A and B are shown apart, each in its own frame.
Chain A
Amino acid sequence: MMERLKGFWKQIRETIWSQTSGKAALILLSILIVIGVAAALAIPPNFVSIWNDPKYWGGKPKNTPPSWSSFFGYPCVQHFEEDLRALGYKLNVTTNEVSLTYLFTYDYKGDGFPQGVALKIDGVYANGVRSIRIEAYITRPDGVTVPDVITYLATGANGSISIENMLLNPDTIKLASTLITLYPQFLQVAGVNDIAMNYPMYLFGKYSNTSRIVSLGGVYRVSVVVKASTLGAVTIDDVNKVVNALKSSKDFKFVVVGTCYGLLGTDYRGRDLAQAMFFGLPIALLIGFGTAFLTTIIGLFAGLASGYYGGLIDEFIQRFIDVLGSIPTLPILILIAVSVQQAYGASPYKPIIMLMVILFTLIVFGWGGLAIIVRSMTLSIKAEAYVEAAQAVGASNWWIMTKHIIPQLLPYIAAQMVYSAPSAILTEAGLSILGIQHGLPTWGGILSDARLYGNISYWWWIFPPGIAISIVSLTFVLLGMSIERVVEPRLRGM
């Protein structure tokens, strides 16, 4: 058996590799598997909850195209994030206050305006501190310093302070009046409310001769000051405590929210689409391989039993396939999925349950075609003389099936299995498109978000998932075609 399998694999490899389409399929497949395994290893264990956590994606630009879209003439301000924990700081100590000043620069190219500025803080814990005050100043290229762009004051109950998951935005009205004091000419173009609404335009812009606001490109020097006032007089211990609290925080970033982001842009919640695409690959492969494998196994054994034993078993299985074949699969699938969605809406296991139910239904409705093929082949093999000879010397049914019949069926089954792999991926994605969402970040899920929450003109949101789905199914289709040409010599050239 092993020898035969090995020989069969060698043959398949040689014959598939000798075809152009087979070569393309094998190369594509190995690339997909390598990326898929890498993604499966790199995926954070709580990725699903991170993906659905709005706070995690705060401070990221929403509905923005990829960074490289600027090459194609799209006016684009790159997203800018400065991790303050990694920066050096200037320490300043007075009698009851420790202050840390972080200085860095932001290089603004001046093609369009950013969407805003923000400070992201998470997981800062300090004891023995009365209050922590954070202020951000921006010095513009023209030398003018805009004070208090962002201010924040945290006061702790009985001397302990914890700052968790804060996204600090400027107080826009205050910032607008500061800007007007510094640049009174802004009032000629807009009122205070307008300036407050579109503050990035004025913070990163200048009043031009043509009575318009144009972007002011150049180097912006940003300083973020953290002032911690202690309960008593400052000791070395207090200084260490404040410095460590900031150093060991979970997140401490200054953000200039751009108008384009990352490799593949972002969705309506500012989520990085490249991550979903990357981690969606192993899920897609699992869905495809898993259903194809189970469907094939069931089809193989049902067809084998039907053809080998004949009689009532055969009649029953064939009529069962008839019934399954007559039922419209997709509506039933949607019906079941919607019911499960309503029944398990609140359960934390809903994504997994829903995906399992969808795949289970696909398997139940999917094995009929293969079983019919396997049955007809089994019938013809069973009539061969060597099977009769094996029966005559007392070989068991199981022996005959595994030694004489299954090995001959294998190539056909391989072709069928490979062919059926993309259909599960396509159906899962199709269901997601309809809004039957299990909540896992699959490629279909991204596409369905694009339809539900996005505008259809957000091309970076529709193209990549569809192309990815197409590439994966193309791989399987090419592979299936080349295996088919091996097992069905009539399809080859004259």
Chain B
Amino acid sequence: MSVGLVIVRRAAFLVLALIIAVFLTAFIIGATGYVDKVARAIVNEEVRAYRQALSKMPNVNQSYVEEKVREYQQMLIATYGLDKPWYYRVLPLVYATLMFKFGDVQQVGVADVAGMQLPAKASDVILACLPRTIVMITVAELIAILIALIIAPYVAFRVGSLADRFTIIYAALTNAIPVWWLALIMIFVFSYRLGVAPQQFRGVIRALSDMSTALLSGDLKGFIMGFANVLNYSWLPIVTIVIVLLGPWIYNVRAMLLRVSREDFVTAAIARGLPQKVVLRRYILRPALPPVITSVLLGLAGTLGGYIITESVFNWPGMGTLYYEAITSGDPATIIGLTYVLTLVYVIARLILEVLYVVLDPRVRL
């Protein structure tokens, strides 16, 4: 098979996975009655408004109004498909979602997470929450990855040394500690006991919008002020996440480097008397690149969904909190929209990887 065909085939399956994920979500929220509940609420609201409008007209017969209202209600029920069982509505819902038409937010709580008022589109709410997750979780993951990429080659070349042992102990410890528990502890210590961090993190909504307006208007001083304000809110979550993620990242990158460093061609390179730097750069880092890039890209893509539990502990108005609020309060448009967007991001990351493999690994091109 040619490389192009392989990529196209993978792409087809990834799109299929995307559709199935959306279908599964639609199926679950359909079977549990989420969609029906919301559709019924919309119908009732519209019928009430229609009745009010009719009653305001002069000289109308009451029975005429009743009849008109009933007709209107029947029409609405048919439009929303409420006269048929829920499974008739799953496929239209899947189709609309795939076309990025998620619909409107129904719950006050969901719009509140985004810092918006109620007539709001699900896509707008999602877009509002995305930057907040990026400044907290994606930045934290990026910092952890950068530190790991610097430290891991260092310890991988000194297996068994004190630094290496310390790294392994640190990795084991942080692998075992739940992020959200450390978050509770950090809030307890830094926000309540020491008082150096905020106790409420919702203020980041304001701080971020201040920063972006300053950036757009070219106000440098305002931008720096806004940035400092955002940092004031986000430093504690970032530090928390970096502490916990750093260990597993170093350990995994170290393991990937070690696997390569035991290959015969590395031994041969060392035997030829090549300088250590050359061996590291050309014979270890280069072959270890594909797995490292895979985990970096997939890790970063995964952060966009937010850490539901950790964000909830910090009460951070990001994607995770939005997801959680949407699920618990029953907001189908946001639930399905988020699932779709996150799966899409993941699928795109996988596709980029497929192409990158071709570029990075010459064996694929053969």
A and B pair up: yes
- Interface SS of chain A: helix, strand, loop or mixed? helix
Q: In the bound complex, do residue A490 and residue B259 qualify as a contact, i.e. CB atoms below 8 Å apart?
A: yes
Bound Cα distance A332, B261 (Å): 40
A residues near B192, Cβ cutoff 8 Å: 456-457
Residue ID in chain A nearest B309 by CB atoms: A430
**Is A32 part of the binding interface, using a Cβ–Cβ cutoff of 8 Å?**
no
Let me know if B350 is at the binding interface, CB within 8 A.
yes
B342 near A328: Cβ-Cβ < 8 Å: yes
Residues of chain A contacted by B21 (CB below 8 angstroms)? 323, 326-328
Within 8 A of B (CB), among A1-35: 21
Complex: how many Å from CA A379 to CA B168? 32
Closest to B323 in A: A331
How many interface residues does A have (CB within 8 Å)? 49
Closest A residue to B19 by beta carbon equals A323
Among B173-181, B203-211, B282-290, the stretch in contact with A = B173-181
B interface residue count range (under 10 / 10 to 19 / 20 to 34 / 35 or more): 35 or more
B17 touches A335 (CB 8 A): no
Interface residue? A481 (CB, 8 A): yes
Given A457-B192, A490-B258: A319 touches B172 (CB 8 Å cut-off): no
Asked whether any CB of chain A lies closer than 8 Å to the CB of B328, the reply is yes
Pair B176/A323 contact, Cβ less than 8 Å? no
Interface contacts (Cβ under 8 Å), in number, total 137
A335 engages B335 (CB within 8 Å): yes
Q: How far is the CA of A409 from the CA of B25 in the complex (A)?
A: 36
> Taking the complex as formed, is B20 at the interface, i.e. its CB lies under 8 A from any CB of chain A?
yes
CA distance in complex: A343, B347 (Å): 33
Given the interface pairs A481-B172, A490-B259, the reply to whether A331 lies near B327 with Cβ below 8 Å is yes
Q: State the main secondary structure of chain B at its contact with A.
A: helix
Q: Specify the chain B residue showing the minimal Cβ separation from A491.
A: B258
Pair A470/B13 contact, Cβ less than 8 Å: no
- Min CB gap B120→A, angstroms: 20
Query: What sequence of 0s and 1s flags, for each residue 344-358 of chain B, a beta carbon within 8 Å of any chain A beta carbon?
Result: 001100100000000
**Complex contacts, B160 vs chain A, CB 8 Å:** 493-494
Q: Which residue, B20, B176, B312, B346, has most C-beta atoms of chain A within 10 A?
A: B176
Question: Which A residues are in CB contact (< 8 Å) with B159?
Answer: 492-494
Asked whether any CB of chain A lies closer than 8 Å to the CB of B146, the reply is: no
B28 at interface by CB-CB < 8 Å: yes
> Smallest Cβ distance from B42 to chain A, in angstroms?
20
Assess whether B308 is in contact with A470, with CB atoms less than 8 Å apart: no
What is the chain B residue whose CB lies nearest that of A463? B185
Q: Give the residues from 144 to 200 in chain B that come closer than 8 angstroms, CB to CB, to chain A.
A: 159-160, 168, 172-173, 175-178, 180-181, 184-185, 187-188, 192-193
Chain A residues with CB under 8 Å of B176's CB are 422, 470-471, 473-474, 476-477
Contacts of A473 in B (CB 8 A): 175-177
Query: Among the listed B178, B181, B187, which residue makes an inter-chain contact with A456, where contact means beta carbons less than 8 Å apart?
Result: B187
**A405 contacts partner chain B, Cβ-Cβ < 8 Å:** no
User: Which chain B residue shows the least CB distance to A475?
Assistant: B176
B343 at the interface (CB under 8 A from A): yes
CB-CB contacts below 8 Å: A289-330 with B: 319, 322-323, 325-328, 330
Residues of B within 8 A of A339 (CB): 28, 31-32
- Asked if B188 and A456 sit within 8 Å, CB to CB, the answer is yes
Q: Are B338 and A426 in contact (CB under 8 A)?
A: no
Which residue of A is nearest B192, CB measured?
A: A457
Expressed in whole angstroms, the minimum distance between the Cβ of B122 and any Cβ of chain A is 15
Q: Are B173 and A462 in contact, CB atoms less than 8 angstroms apart? A: no
Check B14 for interface membership: any CB of A closer than 8 A. Answer: yes
Which residue of A325, A430, A463, A490 is within 8 Å of B180 (Cβ)?
A: A430
A residues within 8 A CB of B327?
A: 331, 334-335, 338
Instruction: Give B254's nearest chain A residue, CB to CB.
Output: A491
> For residue B261, which residue of chain A has the nearest CB?
A490
| B181 cross-chain contacts in A, Cβ below 8 A | 447, 462, 466, 469-470
A319, A327, A463, A477: the one within 8 Å of B13 (CB): A319
B309–A477 touching, CB < 8 Å: no
Find chain A residues with CB under 8 A from B177 CB.
466, 470, 473
Please provide the chain B residues from 8 to 59 with a CB less than 8 Å away from any CB of chain A in the complex: 13-14, 16-18, 20-21, 24-25, 28-29, 31-32
The 6 closest A-B pairs by CB, nearest first: A474-B176, A493-B160, A466-B181, A339-B32, A473-B176, A490-B262
B-contacting residues of A (Cβ < 8 Å)? 21, 319, 322-323, 325-328, 330-332, 334-336, 338-339, 342-343, 422, 426, 429-430, 433-435, 447, 450-451, 456-457, 459, 462-463, 466, 469-471, 473-474, 476-478, 481, 488, 490-494
Using a CB–CB cutoff of 8 Å, the interface residues on chain B facing chain A are 13-14, 16-18, 20-21, 24-25, 28-29, 31-32, 159-160, 168, 172-173, 175-178, 180-181, 184-185, 187-188, 192-193, 255, 258-259, 261-262, 305, 308-309, 312-313, 323-324, 327-328, 335, 338-339, 342-343, 346-347, 350
